[in-house]
Structure 1
Amino acid sequence: MPPRAIPRPQAALLASLLAVVSLLCASSSFALDARALYKQVKGSVVLVACQTSEGLAEGTGFYVGDGSLIATNSHVIKGASIIVLKSDSGDLQVPVDLVDMDLKRDLVLLRVEQPGTPLFLVPRLPEVGEEVLTVGNPMGLEQSISLGVISGLREIKGVRYVQTTAAISHGNSGGPLLNESGGVVGINTFYVSEGQNLNFAVSSIHLLRMLPSGMANASPPATGQAPVQAALRDSSAAPAIASRTALIENRQGGTLLVVYGDVPAGLQGRDTQLEAQLLDDSGRILASHRFLPDRTLTRYQLQTLHPDAIEARLRQNSPLPGGVEGKIPYMTVFSNLPAGATTARVRPARD
């Protein structure tokens, strides 16, 4: 039998349907390399088993900071008389100390004797549409992964949540929600059972602020795609003025780079003009601007920065400029960070 001819209207409709199917198939593919990412992070994720008055409860945790801390949800260990952590290799250990707990944000930090490889806490909110992966222990099925995308950013009663289509279940609580480079963008916390793919993680920004004073965030993943904000480092190479940098969250949820320090005595003067520069690894200047130092922070700078972030991040490095007698402090802010920037430095401005 010869092929049956399809009328033009039906043919057009069929072509449209095929185009939609092709688009859906294309959009369901992931650029994120799940196999490589899982191998990269699995050793940092643990099973959290708790003995409570109601029986055995399980969740997920992961190493942060210098590797001596385990992060998880506070509801995972609620009412626990015994807490046991199990690594992907099967090793068991018991936490030796409860370092910090934030019930409002459902986060807790536990100290352990046997450190592990910490995961980098991304100091910014992800973008809607970013691909993500979860690693956890849903229903006791250890080291399970799921893929998805960031489907929304929410704020509920002062807590920032990352909404994702990456599936989570009981047992995933406290586990990491990871971006494609292996940075933690959220801590899996709850899902809405009445809907579909409505999963929520507390933003990593909240967990980053809980790290003990003086303890640094883990290093960014060793990838060429690591966030430029996290890769910025201080530069005190002559003839640059010694400077410090800090990543600060602004009130709109973005990330600013603050460059600050003290003006050397030989350069102090009313008309001293400084130039802050952002450079790549080859030394090429990607961005710069000039400014005048002052003894106090400007009102604009104080209003732009999030006060909690100032206290949590700048205080870890050194006191805020302005309180040291005989020294003139400086502080300037980059709100747009160019791709490839790795070094921040400050120099006397040159004509």
Structure 2
Amino acid sequence: MKIKVGIIGATGYAGAELVRILSAHPQVELVALVTQSYGGKAFCEVYPHLYKYVMLECRELDLPALADKADVVFTALPHGHAVPVAGEVLGRGKKFIDLGADFRFGRRDVYEQWYKVEHSGEKLLEQAVYGLPEIHRDKIRSASLVGNPGCYPTSVILGLAPLLRNGLIDPGSIIIDSKSGVSGAGRGLSLGTHFSEVNENFRAYNVGVHRHTPEIEQELSKLAGEDVVVSFTPHLTPMNRGILSTMYAGLKQEMTLEQVRSVYEEFYRSEFFVRLLPPGILPQTKAVTGSNHCDIVPVVDPRTGRVVVISAIDNLIKGAAGQAVQNMNLMFGLPETTGLDRPGLYP
């Protein structure tokens, strides 16, 4: 019997990728695609690349009916909108996965400080699981409510997890430099993502104040077993999709590249979606485009005593929709690669 899936926010970039992935998932039946802007239109009118693959109409939200019909509901909405949906879905005994920020934090006050909105679902926060499978797999399997990680945090946490879990770097020395394609800003119109503003341009933004900072610090602190504060600077690049993160940290003791690589090899030995690239090959966004993979390479700089870790993901797949499907697979007892075990597109 197939898993019945409803998606709220189906016509944003992350929502549309959810639709695309799930339309080919062998254990899924899409039963509802909810959107505020395109009610009554065929989904393929909004996204013609899915013609003959997805023939559902977009619908406006009828939450009780959706919660009755679906086994799991995904929300791909801006922050601040997922709490009432989660309450209704969970109240009817169904599962819920939020691609926004509303259930990523263990502490309500941290969320409210960084996102500037009140969180009305503190009881729900207590049962939410942070949906990074490579770190929290066992908790995700038994969860009914999952907060899907942000795109930048996914690239950073996976890049640094082996070093922090093994106590190999100074937690106070971490500097993170990340670059993202324009689709990370969503499908809504804004001056900052206008073609003539982005094309042939490269700029930093939200330096020191990006909302993914506390999410990164929360998860890195759990891995380190102590509070971690990072310097995080995101950049916007003139490409459609992809994230490349470069992380710098001071080693606690002298280590060779071979020693550091062995730590990564052991940590990710059984992880299908994390690829530790061979020596001489560095991560690049094109190599993961369209895939649920995270490519990682650590480099040791003996002159400075630092380790430099480079990671690459597709921000809409491993950074959003693909990871959400990976979580769904775990929650329903499926192999987590189901519907996702394919390479990316190149060039």
Q: TM-score range by the shorter chain?
A: under 0.3
- Answer 1 or 2: which has greater helix percent: 2
Higher RCO (CA < 8 A, seq sep 6+): 2
Larger Rg: 1
Q: TM-score, normalised by structure 2?
A: 0.25
Q: TM-score, normalised by structure 1?
A: 0.25
- Answer 1 or 2: which has greater strand percent: 1
